[in-house]
Structures are given as C-alpha cells and as structure tokens.
Structure 1
C-alpha cells in the first residue's frame, strides 16, 4: 500500500556517486516525484529529516521466507498454513531491519507476494522463484536415503520440486512461470542443508540447465543457480544462467565468466557464520553442520577475489529458522573485505539491476519507489549502524512503517 509523503531537510545518499546530496524529497502514490526545495506549502504528511542520513530501502537478494527452521527437510511434513504464519513474522522483522524488498530464492510463492502487496502482511516487497528445480538426489530433494516416494513438492511446505530430464525441466520451469515467478531457481550443485548430496557435486546436465534458461528467457525472466564450486559455477554460467547463489569455492575461470556474461554473484557469508554458531540449536543436523566448515573458510577469500575481479556483487543472507535475526550482520562481514559504499551498492543499485528493476528500486531519484531507511549517524563512517539495524525510521512506498522510540 502506497502513500504521499514529503521528506524535508533530506541529506540523502546518491549511491552511484557515493556522496550525499541535499533537498526535499516528494513522494506521491508511493513513487518519488521530485527532489529539491519545494515552493508549495506542505499539506500532506511530512517527515523532517534534519540532522539525519537517508539511504534507499535495502534489498536482500537471497532469503527463504518460509525457512522458519534450519531443518528444511522436516518442513515438508508441516502444515503450509503453519509455515505461512511463521513466515509472516519473519517478514515483519526484515522490514524493521530496513529491507524494503527481498528476493526469495525458493519456497515463497505468489501468495506471499500478493499478501504483502495488498497490505495483508507487513513485510518487504517479495520477488519470488516459487519452488526451486532440482534433480533426483539434488540440493532441493528433501528425501532421506530410506525414503522413496515423493509428490514433487507441489502441495508441501518445501523449497523445491524434482524434475529430471530436459522435458521435465521445461515443464517445471513453465509451471513456475505460469504462477508468476520473477525468476527460476535451479540447483546446479550440492549444498549444506540437504540430506544426500555432496557440496562438490555438479547437478543437472548442461541440456537441462539450458532448457531452464530458454524457458525463463522466453518469459523475459532469468535463471539463478545454487552453486559452490568453480566446476558447478562455470558450467551454469556457460549454459546462460544469469545469477549464482553462494559461489564460495569459485575459481579464476569463474571470475572471467561472470564478467563475460555480465552475471551476478549473490554470496551469503552470514549464513555460514550463524550455522556454525547456532545451526544445531535451530534444527540443523550434525551431518549438515559438519559440511559448513568447507564453505565458510572459502567465502571471505572468494568475496575478495570477486570484488577485485569486477564481478557484479549482490547482497544476500540465506538464513534459516531463528538465525534470520542476524540478517544485517552481513554488512559487517562484507565490510571487512570491501568498502562500505560497495557493500551498500550490493544491497541497492546492483541488487535492483539483478531484479530487473534498475531505476525503480535501490535508488533515490524521481520515478523510483519511495523506499528509504533513515539513520542518526552516517553508515559510511560506521557500518555498525547498518549491521546492528540502528535505524531512526523505515519508509516503504511513502509510508513510515517503522520508527525508533525517541523517548
């Protein structure tokens, strides 16, 4: 739901230039209509931002709204309604941390998008993949070794659906696109929170990868792929995948391919820190917990190499269960490796480009959404303002949706 708002005495961040600018910001029907000193008297709602710092609303490009436990396999036996109520709580907390938009990387469907857009649920705007596509025994195949039957996840609170073979992948991609998916998620390699696959495995044949890409491109959408190792990353990028999730074990060829195809890398370093610290407490199995070490250690080095190599970096967290509360800590972790302004760009302008909403999200400019976070101190000088979510206010579509207690 959108609104009209005038933000006076605004000192706002031009993210692309990396500098602050001054001027009153006018928002009408949730969209920024002008920036500058208004000559007309203020008749509608006004927010006086004198002495504060304004940034665009933040974008998290890798969340799982439905992951209300770290044991995602167990969720397949839970009531979808129970999961949805838990996800609503997760969404509200994300908004309070300043994330006015999120990209769900598997699990949430059009119901979550529509509930937020209609004002039924308080939370970030939702760009969703629906269910991720996985091969039998792949990262989103939630069955344990002794379980044979599955229903492809159509009616369960699962993050994925099984599709084997080129024709089945095409049908599954078309089905998720039919239901409104903004992007298609495929599992192109092994992962941490899955019961039967190895992190160093590649998944899906090149033909199956290309089939998903062809269907997404036909619908003017794109494919993003779960992949850790250079081997799995590189074959996915060569098949036309536009985004890579994780990428902790990338290699030099990976960096070359990211640049060649103008692809995007969404790393999620905070999730490995939190899984190592708290994963078992929130349902992660001992076996999966032991997988974490192999990807945690390579993550910071991969971030450094990707940044120095000029890769499009987008902000993501990929947190599960009670660990969602650490979402903003990703700013602190990344800022140890790259400049704060570039971490902010990963959560604003570059993120908007990945979402195919360049100029509409992640920027303070006429024509963009009236999404802002407001702070009392300058985040460029102290990243903890963001990593600890010390926000004076959050504004979404021209409405103040969260405000710090000033008493």
Structure 2
C-alpha cells in the first residue's frame, strides 16, 4: 500500500528556473513526487500525512559535480599516509556530511584503489547513509602528472585505452582524465598540457562506447582545447579559457564545472593554516583569471554545473553552498546559481530523468530552508532539513 505525504505552505523553488510557487503543495507517493502546485488546490486522501512548512522554502537537493570524497580537507591532503580502511572510514563520514549540507548527489572525481566505487556501493545498498555518488575510480594521468598520487599513470594511446577499460571494469560511472597540470601537485604547472589530445580521445571513446561520460581536470588553454576536441563531456576548473575554446564548447555542448571554491579557500587560509607554499603561490596566480574565464563562459552561454573540488584544503562538504555565493558574486543571479546546482548538474551527470528538479514523477530528494535563497543565497549554508528518497534524514 502506497504512503502519501503532503508538504504545505512553503515557498517552492523547482530547480527548473521557473517562478517560485508561493504557499506550495508538494505531494509525495512513496519515494516519488506525485504532484506540485498551490496548496489550496489539492484534494487529499484521508490517510495522507500532512507536514506544515509555512515560512520555509523548499528546493531540490544540491548536486556537487566535483568532489573527492576520500580526501580530508586539511592543509595538505596528499601528505596524509593512511591505510585503505582509514581512507574508507573518512569517505563514509564525508558522504554523510554532504547529505547533512543539503547535497543529495555528488560526482566523485578520483580516489585511490577504487574506494570511491566501494563507498558508492555501500550507500546504494543501504550499508551506510550518505549522499548519492557517481564515482570515476582512479583518475587517468600521465606518469608524474597531476594527481598521480591517487591516479592510474598511463602514457600513449594504447596504455590510456587500457587504463580507461580498467576503470570501467571496476564499475566506474564515468572517467576522469587529467589534461593539464594543477595547483595541488608539486612540480607541475596549472597551465601546462599533460595527456595529449589523442590520448584523451582514446579514453573518451572507451567511455562513450558503453554509454558513460567523461570529465577532465583542465586548467591551461592548450590542455582544455585538447580535451574539448577529444570529445570530453565536461571541463572542470577551466581557469584559462579563450574565446576559441568557449566557441568550441558551445558547438559541442561541453559543460563547465568551475570549482571557484578551491583556489578561494587556499588563498583565504594560506600557509599559516598548513597549506604548502607552492599551493598558495599557484592559487594566488590563477584566482583572478579563473573568475574572468567563468564570467566569459557564462556570458557566452556555456552550460555551467556546480562543483567545488570538495576536500581541497579547507573546502569540506559543509562549504558546498559557498560555491553558489562565489558564482553569484561573479555574475550569476541566485536563480541561475541554483539551476546550475540542480537541473544543469543533473543533466551533466545523466540523472535528470529522476533527479535535479522538483517535478511530478521524479525521486523526492529535496531540502528545507529557513529563508528564500533567491533573496539570501547564503541561507543554503544552513540547511534545516534534508529529504532523500522521500524520507527525512535524521542526523
């Protein structure tokens, strides 16, 4: 016998970009949304449970398209030498922390020894409670390239192809490919290309053959262009975008996941907080260009999905909503930032049939807020209640 729950009285932001519904009604049947509209237009069955949310705001759970769930957001995450079991314990804790922060779905962008896949499966089976996870397995990187500490080092088309197939065999939901250097790996430059276009394309082909997507860590212009021409589905970071690259992204429907949080929190905390000097120096060097590239992409109409690079220094699960603050400061409207964190993010992940917006027929993942985030985007940093699969999560 189905169970009906009716939430009434809240402002409702659907995530579609459409107008807010005042004094809304949200009717759930089991774990799915049955109907949405004005509260006074519903005719309810006698056994319907009614929850009054007058004065609150409802919106879809946020989707964070770039996290590292196995890492701890300390000054130097790579300096920690831990067993796989300890890493898994931290990952399980982070999965719960993301959920508490109102993040009901994440895209994990790389972990050692397929631990992110194990945590995904533990959540899906109900063994642990946490946010929904899509996992990449190990990131594909050239020998000594960015993220080699947790990555699958591979060189040349044949070796990259085999590495891609290894991740897919292990159960990866998508592939993560390192196209450039980065801030957090010593001895590499953020702007320098790493895996070549033909190497990236080999991995993209393997993923697309089995209906899975690809994402690239790409900061410098040459590496970003290589990845876009290779058919990548999303560019993560995109620090040095050019007009040519933006045009290519528009032509090919490539998404941008900006991760503005990552350099912000490194610069904000600095070496005094235990962040290595090379990370701080590189972050200071790229942070202004990062914002300018984001603004250029937005102005041109590139599809933007929210991601934080979660677990870079002092950028933990609870900081997810600060990414929306930074996006709004950089020129998005609050509604655009919310859509980037819900509808567009779900489209990038390929889960928009069931998630990302509050619409009839979709899974009931949503959050409750004390204030309207369209008037105060920072209220998203203080989520009141989280519902996943139609059930209120008790923390």
The within-5 A match list for 1:257-406 is 257-278=248-269, 280=271, 283-319=274-310, 320=312, 322-324=314-316, 325-336=318-329, 337-386=331-380, 389-402=381-394
Compared CA separation, residues 254 and 402, structure 1 to 2 (3 A): farther
CA apart distance, 1:274: 0.6
CA RMSD of aligned residues (A): 2.1
Given that 1:141 and 1:161 are in contact with CA atoms closer than 8 Å, whether structure 2 keeps it comes out as yes
Residue 62 of structure 1: SS of its match in structure 2?
strand
Structure 1 position 117 matched with structure 2 position 121: no
Q: After alignment, is 266-275 or 105-114 more displaced? A: 105-114
* C-alpha distance in structure 1 between counterparts of 2:77 and 2:392, whole Å: 34
* C-alpha distance in structure 1 between counterparts of 2:181 and 2:44, whole Å: 58
CA apart distance, 1:293: 1.1
Compared CA separation, residues 197 and 4, structure 1 to 2 (3 A): farther
Structure 1 position 226 matched with structure 2 position 224: no
Structure 1 position 205 matched with structure 2 position 203: no
Compared CA separation, residues 90 and 321, structure 1 to 2 (3 A): farther
* C-alpha distance in structure 2 between counterparts of 1:161 and 1:223, whole Å: 15
CA apart distance, 1:24: 2.7
TM-score (norm 1): 0.89
Given that 1:244 and 1:265 are in contact with CA atoms closer than 8 Å, whether structure 2 keeps it comes out as yes
Structure 1 position 183 matched with structure 2 position 174: yes
1:146 aligns with none
Structure 1 position 13 matched with structure 2 position 13: yes
Structure 1 unaligned runs (5+)? 143-157
Q: After alignment, is 63-72 or 79-88 more displaced? A: 63-72
Count residues with an aligned counterpart. Answer: 383
Given that 1:352 and 1:358 are in contact with CA atoms closer than 8 Å, whether structure 2 keeps it comes out as yes
TM-score (norm 2): 0.91
* C-alpha distance in structure 1 between counterparts of 2:128 and 2:391, whole Å: 15
> Which whole-Å deviations, capped at 9, do the CAs of 1:307-345 have from their partners, x for residues lacking one?
100000011111325431422211111111211110101
2:44 aligns with 40
CA apart distance, 1:6: 2.9
Q: After alignment, is 84-93 or 239-248 more displaced? A: 84-93
Structure 1 position 59 matched with structure 2 position 55: no
Compared CA separation, residues 401 and 70, structure 1 to 2 (3 A): same
